Amino acid sequence: MTSTVPASLFRANGSSALQAVFLDMDGTLVDTEGFWWDAEVEAFADLGHRLDESWRDVVVGGPMTRSAGYLIEATGADITLAELTVLLNQKFEQRIDRGVPLMPGADRLLSELARHDIPTALVSASHRRIIDRVLDSLGADRFALTVAGDEVVRTKPHPEPYLTAARGVGADPVLCAVVEDTATGVAAAEAAGCRVVAVPSVAPIAPSAGRVVVRSLEEVDVPFLRTLIATPRGL
């Protein structure tokens, strides 16, 4: 976990105001969910196995250990989890080195959050080495805090990553908004007590109490997020 601004600066004054915004990375801010699947397909092809397209919905948004473990079990590939993790990270890095496309609305939203001085954290299941490379495209200075999947004991769908982010910026999770693109990430954020904006990238996500579903980050701005926090839960 890395932080660039003292948490004491992030204490909000109001009891019901938006205190912080936490954003997922792959598939939410950067269009890389397909990169991970392509890396997985290539890695298993090298091992003599073909991945079923239906498995993509199973592994999307999950931590590396869960996704890789599932694919090893599903294919019966002769490779350890540790070996596959290294291989997948290498193949993913090869792809992001060619450039990382931002999702529509991502650059505008990050700039708007900065203009409003809203503490913003990047919370990802990806490993630190991956996050740091992607930050070259996103701009590391746009985030008060970044939390990587290999820096927490339990990553998404466990709430620990978002609880860690909330502690890091000195915010109450209940007054934080989270933007996620997968059911795994949504589950983690909701378990932490945050309000969620879901922007599905691969598999659909249904709306529910305390959660709204939008088609694109183009629909998300600061007034929208403040209204989400101000709306009583259950409405």
What is the pTM (predicted TM-score) of this model? 0.80
Q: What is the pLDDT of the chain when averaged over all its residues? A: 89
Distance CA 148, CA 201 (A): 20
Quote the pLDDT of residue 1: 64
72-86 pLDDT, tens digit per residue, is: 999 999 999 999 999
> How sure is the predictor about 235, in pLDDT bands with cuts at 50, 70 and 90?
low
Higher pLDDT, 93 or 223: 223
Beta strands in the chain (DSSP E): 2-3, 20-23, 120-123, 145-147, 176-180, 195-198, 211-213
Find the mean pLDDT for residues 22-48: 92
94-142 pLDDT, tens digit per residue, is: 888 888 899 999 999 999 999 999 999 999 998 898 899 999 889 999 9
Among residues 117, 196, 190, the alpha carbon closest in space to that of 157 is found at: 190
AA identity, residue 86: V
Distance CA 224, CA 217 (A): 11
Distance CA 123, CA 179 (A): 10
Q: Which positions ≥6 away from 109 have C-beta within 8 Å?
A: 217, 220, 221
Quote the pLDDT of residue 189: 97
Question: Residue 79: phi, psi to the nearest 5?
Answer: -155, 145
> How sure is the predictor about 15, in pLDDT bands with cuts at 50, 70 and 90?
low
- Output the six-digit token pair for 68: 């890789």
Quote the pLDDT of residue 113: 98
Distance CA 61, CA 27 (A): 8
> How sure is the predictor about 25, in pLDDT bands with cuts at 50, 70 and 90?
very high
Task: Of 13-17, 29-33, 162-166, 171-175, give the lowest mean pLDDT range.
Answer: 13-17
**Percentage with pLDDT > 90 across the chain:** 70
β-pairing verdict for 195-198 and 176-180: parallel
Quote the pLDDT of residue 8: 35
- Output the six-digit token pair for 78: 């002769």
Angle 195-188-136 from CA coordinates, rounded to 5°: 90
> How sure is the predictor about 6, in pLDDT bands with cuts at 50, 70 and 90?
very low
DSSP letters spanning 134-158: HHHHH-GGG-SEEE-GGGSSS-TTS
